[in-house]
């Protein structure tokens, strides 16, 4: 993998982490705190696969409005929501949407859920990397139309395009293999 692709991949990962962190810190509104249905909020967070400590964020948000979260109702709702979240087909769906499993499912499904989610997440990652590489490749090809470029600059850009094209072939192979594995897992879930 070339340095530019590694750098782009790193920046993508950091952006995803910052986005995930900020979204997990999102406060409830005043109305949500005052009129909150803690059980329903727990169900919603459980369906989304949020960790139990999500209630602490809700408590912090509602503390500003003088509202105490009904933690017992929230956790009961979350438990119910997790029953819907902790399905193998959901492990595949969430992985394909770029969501990583947070170890929230019961022990009897945890390992399978993690495995399925990771396989789907690999497809998501490969597709994202290929899309970014295609964008870089397109940018390089478009830059060749600049009439102000010297022959040496054009030669350098063509060399970069060849390198990116080789990386693209490798990424397409990785994606093909990841999608084949995912297809096998999807077929496996149909027979369970």
Question: Residue 189: which residues within 8 A CB-CB, separation 6 or more?
Answer: 88, 89, 92, 116
Helical spans, DSSP H, in the chain: 3-24, 30-34, 38-47, 54-63, 71-85, 88-96, 107-143, 151-190
CB burial class (10 A; 0-12, 13-18, 19+) of residue 22? Answer: exposed
Q: Is the pTM of this model over 0.75?
A: no
pLDDT on residue 5 = 45
- What pLDDT was estimated at residue 126? 95
Digitized pLDDT (tens) for each residue of the chain, 192 residues in all? 444 544 444 444 444 443 344 344 445 999 989 888 999 999 999 999 999 999 999 999 999 899 999 999 999 999 999 999 999 999 999 999 999 999 999 999 999 999 999 999 999 999 999 999 999 999 999 999 999 999 999 999 999 999 999 999 999 999 999 999 999 988 888 887
- How far apart (Å, rounded) are the C-alpha atoms in residues 69 and 54? 12
What values do phi and psi take at 83, rounded to 5? -60, -35
Q: Is the four-CA dihedral 140, 123, 17, 39 of positive or negative sign?
A: positive
Q: Are 119 and 95 in contact (CB under 8 A)?
A: yes
Could you tell me the CA-to-CA distances from 129 to 135, 146, 158, 186 in Å, in that order? 10, 27, 21, 23
């Amino acid at each position: 993998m070339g340095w530019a692709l590694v750098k782009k991949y790193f920046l993508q990962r950091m952006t995803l982490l910052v986005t995930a962190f900020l979204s997990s810190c999102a406060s409830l509104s005043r109305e949500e705190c005052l009129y909150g249905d803690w059980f329903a909020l727990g169900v919603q967070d459980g369906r989304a696969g949020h960790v139990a400590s999500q209630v602490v964020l809700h408590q912090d948000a509602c503390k500003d409005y003088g509202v105490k979260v009904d933690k017992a109702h929230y956790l009961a709702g979350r438990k119910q929501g997790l029953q819907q979240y902790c399905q193998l087909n959901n492990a595949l769906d969430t992985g394909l949407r770029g969501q990583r499993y947070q170890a929230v499912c019961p022990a009897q499904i945890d390992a399978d859920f993690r495995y399925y989610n990771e396989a789907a997440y690999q497809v998501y990652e490969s597709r994202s990397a290929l899309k970014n590489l295609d964008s870089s490749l397109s940018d390089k090809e478009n830059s060749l139309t600049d009439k102000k470029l010297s022959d040496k600059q054009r030669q350098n850009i063509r060399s970069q395009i060849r390198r990116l094209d080789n990386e693209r072939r490798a990424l397409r192979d990785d994606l093909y293999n990841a999608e084949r594995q995912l297809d096998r897992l999807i077929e496996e879930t149909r027979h369970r």
